Structure 1
């Protein structure tokens, strides 16, 4: 099960890396960032294929998208100087709390 969550973590990392390269690619006009973001997205989906065999797809997608949204918001603040209202920050922490709750009860229901 730890291997499954490592794959899921890798998929989140790759999705975040690809998304962070979107503005850098300047509407896909810059070749290197476009190639890199394509590589990261392909890797993210490839890693997800291993995870969906072990966990329900709803749990996988909720975790992948929730942690991706949270991480991208933080990285956007750090690298692109994008600001977030306190309500948005609260919402992001609620997303993380939801991901934790969803994963805490995965496998406990038959």
Structure 2
């Protein structure tokens, strides 16, 4: 369970770091850049911890996919960026891809047996 928390916090840090990058590019100042560096570094560190127990493809798909989805939505709300029909379709396809990757990933046999015996 802790590894999913690591992944969730990594996603939040990635989103906040990317939004800080956009904010600092529009408003100047070093604070946004420092926040970006710290948040994105934290995101990668937490992602590296998450992949100890979460399949790499699943973790990366969730980390990057959720990041793209939420960064796009926040950039529309916060920075008045456009959201075209093509972007909406792409985001829907992105969600479908993440779902398929997650549902198509099996635990290794050794791990599955350990889980079955533990439960």
TM-score norm. by structure 2 comes to 0.81
Q: Distance in 2 between matches of 1:12 and 1:94?
A: 19
Unaligned runs of 5+ in 1: none
CA RMSD of aligned residues (A): 1.8
Deviations 1:34-90 (A, max 9, x none): 111111011101111111111222222122111111111000011001111112111
- Indicate the residue corresponding to 2:91 in structure 1: 92
- Indicate the residue corresponding to 2:37 in structure 1: 38
Q: If each structure's helix is expressed as a fraction of its own residues, which one has the higher value?
A: 2
Number of aligned residues: 108
Q: Distance in 2 between matches of 1:90 and 1:16?
A: 21
Unaligned runs of 5+ in 2: 110-119
Deviations 1:2-44 (A, max 9, x none): 32222111111100100001122228x5211111111101110
Q: Distance in 2 between matches of 1:103 and 1:82?
A: 30
Find the residue that maps to 2:23 and give its secondary structure: coil
Q: Distance in 1 between matches of 2:37 and 2:101?
A: 29
- Indicate the residue corresponding to 1:58 in structure 2: 57
Q: Distance in 2 between matches of 1:108 and 1:5?
A: 15
- Indicate the residue corresponding to 2:17 in structure 1: 18
Q: Larger Cα Rg: Structure 1 or Structure 2?
A: 2
CA shift at 1:101, angstroms? 2.0
TM-score norm. by structure 1 comes to 0.87
